[in-house]
A and B are shown apart, each in its own frame.
Chain A
Amino acid sequence: NAGVTQTPKFQVLKTGQSMTLQCAQDMNHEYMSWYRQDPGMGLRLIHYSVGAGITDQGEVPNGYNVSRSTTEDFPLRLLSAAPSQTSVYFCASSRGGRGDTDTQYFGPGTRLTVL
């Protein structure tokens, strides 16, 4: 199993550009989520999905869209990149859903810089 994979590993954007961060998992996990990690702050939840066709907002959803057309894939779209979105983005998946105590498995991260 590859686990959770993310592409690209690094990305530089100009302000106003849009792009999609890809995330895939091969563990048949129902729950997937996107986080951003900034210096001095914990990981913050952007969006999450409890199964194919179902998504919901997390703590910091503004400026991001998600979709979940399959169990395996959970792409994160930046609509119009801003310098405040410079961060490291982690995708995660777990077997369980809301309130579950299952382990979250994280992808290797995407380092995004917006100029």
Chain B
Amino acid sequence: RKEVEQDPGPFNVPEGATVAFNCTYSNSASQSFFWYRQDCRKEPKLLMSVYSSGNEDGRFTAQLNRASQYISLLIRDSKLSDSATYLCVVNTWNNDMRFGAGTRLTVKP
């Protein structure tokens, strides 16, 4: 079983749609959680950190459920520029960062 699992997609949605990505992790000792965005043939870039209380950044909302070892990312009012692969990242106490394989999103006009 992979330590960080994501639905690979692809998710194909129209502009303006709301889309949700899910991620589960297996190591209960995990300390910090992130969503990274990776454009085609580019490097990953931090989208947002994920906090236990949930956090929002504009159209993006991230949630963490430690009891279920589950992380989510919600994108509202999707834009064409949101098309990318979204990586779920989990960091254990010793800075051992584990990446999910990513969920690919395509937003269409």
Report if B57 contacts A (CB, 8 A). no
* Residues of chain A at interface, number, CB under 8 A: 24
Number of A-B contacts defined by CB within 8 Å: 51
From known contacts A101-B49, A101-B91, infer whether A42 and B102 are also in contact, taking CB-CB under 8 Å. Answer: yes
Within 8 A of A (CB), among B54-109: 87, 91, 93-102
Chain A interface secondary structure, helix, strand, loop or mixed? Answer: loop
Report if B32 contacts A (CB, 8 A). yes
CB-defined contacts of B43 to chain A, threshold 8 Å: 90, 106-109
CB-defined contacts of B101 to chain A, threshold 8 Å: 40-42
Interface residues on B, range: 20 to 34
Min CB distance, B91 to chain A, in Å? 7
CB-defined contacts of A109 to chain B, threshold 8 Å: 42-43
CB-defined contacts of B100 to chain A, threshold 8 Å: 42
Residues of B within 8 A of A (CB): 2, 4, 8, 31-32, 42-46, 49, 87, 91, 93-102
**Apart from A43-B99, A99-B91, A104-B46, what 6 extra A-B contacts exist at CB < 8 Å?**
A31-B95, A42-B87, A59-B96, A90-B44, A98-B94, A109-B43
